[in-house]
Amino acid sequence: MEFKKNTVCQVEIEDIGESGEGIGKVEGYTLFIKDAVIGDVVVAKIMKAKKHYAYARLERVITPSPFRVVPRCSFYRQCGGCQLQALSYEKQLEFKQNKVRNNLIRIGGLTSEAVDKAMEPAVGMDEPFFYRNKAQFPFGVDKEGKTVTGFYAGRTHSIIANTDCALGAAENKIILEKILAYMKEEGIAAYNEKSHQGLIRHVLIRKGFATGQLMVCLVINGKRLPEEKRLIEALCRIPGMSSISISTNQEKTNIIMGKEIRLLYGKEQIEDTIGGLTFQISPLSFYQVNPVQTEKIYAKALEYAALTGRETVWDLYCGIGTISLFLAGKARQVYGVEIIPEAIADAKKNAAYNGIANVDFFVGKAEEILPEKYAKEGIYADVIVVDPPRKGCDEACLCTMVKMEPKRIVYVSCNSATLARDVKYLREQGYEMERVGVFDNFPNTGHVECVIMMQYCGKEKKK
């Protein structure tokens, strides 16, 4: 068989790729097929052919996999946000456990025996839907010129009209429909990326799951909304509405939020509670989107830190201080570092709000703050906790961590590939991976969160 664009072939799905795509082989030639489930027999059309593999589109399922389920959302294939929604939840957890395991072996250079000894069973959710406490919805027009909102189709800026995402809070649908009705009544146009015309670009919705408080922030291509009071009155009929604001973004950019935020109603922040601590969240705050799983992750990070009350702990990439405040209850002193000034301002407010005094926060790069504090003030680290973005830790940050020689490093990660890369570096510097926890923070998607604990074994034990 000749494998080129538009070639149609039948294939059995034998594995799942990094992003949840089905993988099968025809005559030794590998096909990556989005929306195919392990165990399916499918007909697929090749869309992009390479020498040894191709990306193909699922045309139809001939024999469904025993692990295939009926997706809750009718838009899941178009949207691309829920890559695994057609796969049973039990199989999703197995996939994510294997994803972390394989990256630690393949990229991290660990043996399968070492990884299997360290890994704990993946922690899933009782309800793997309606777990997101934050969502950002773009506004636009459909082919008939009707104003719509929803999510972008995968790898495009074409909006799929859907106000009822199965991953978000139930209130999202009510809020979006009230905004659409207001736009229709007032003749307000949605933003057009090409012409840079139209007013409403996006809406950010947050919910405090523990408090029930709701936040709405409309991102607009202007300074004001027509008849603002009418929109405020409509949104305030929704139970829990606590904050309504607008963010001005008049730039030709793909960045969603603008720099200027004006409060229309209520408070500038809403509150949410995790593990007995209360956090104040603004439109720009970084805050974990799945509070149910976040509490489990932070509890595991605290367990791995093994604090006795005598330790000095550094929390790198600390954000608004969520992990720092968890650690402070068990440590002598906690220091948080974050490069974003607004996040540190939130962290300090959250510490004061919760009456926690044994924590200090610094704005800057970890690789600059840590050496300075060590050299000038003699501040060392018994334990370092790090929760970097998807790209992982900067090498300079890792180098600084190693120089501090903490007894333990607890690494929280949303990208097991970059985690494994950093694990390899740390192992080369005298640390060994002792424990691994896998958490499904993002059910029905290909993403997974994990926590590892690395113990210092001494430079003479480098491998």
pLDDT tens digits along 217-260 = 999 999 999 999 999 999 999 999 999 999 999 999 999 999 89
Band of pLDDT at residue 463, cut at 50, 70 and 90: very low
pLDDT tens digits along 260-277 = 999 999 999 999 999 999
- Residue of 9, 414, 450, 457 marked catalytic: 414
**Residue 196 CB contacts under 8 Å (≥ 6 apart), including other chains:** 221, 252
The H-assigned helical ranges of 254-309 are 291-305
**Residue 457 a catalytic site member:** no
User: What pTM did the predictor assign?
Assistant: 0.92
Which carries the bigger pLDDT value, residue 108 or residue 374? Answer: 108
- Distance (Å, rounded) from C-alpha 11 to C-alpha 16? 14
Residue-wise DSSP of 112-149: HHHHHHHBPPPB--SS-SS-BSEEEEEEEE-TTS-EEE
Collapsing DSSP to helix, strand or coil, 276 comes out as coil
CA 247 to chain centre: 22
Which carries the bigger pLDDT value, residue 118 or residue 370? Answer: 118
The C-alpha angle 446, 339, 336, rounded to 5 degrees, equals 90
pLDDT tens digits along 276-292 = 999 999 998 888 899 99
pLDDT tens digits along 422-446 = 999 999 999 999 999 999 999 999 9
- Distance (Å, rounded) from C-alpha 78 to C-alpha 60? 15
pLDDT tens digits along 325-374 = 999 999 999 999 999 998 999 999 999 999 999 999 999 998 899 888 88
pLDDT, position 460: 58
Band of pLDDT at residue 18, cut at 50, 70 and 90: confident
How would you class 294 by CB atoms within 10 Å of its CB: exposed for 0-12, middle for 13-18, buried for 19 or more?
A: buried
Per-residue pLDDT for 80 more than 60?
yes
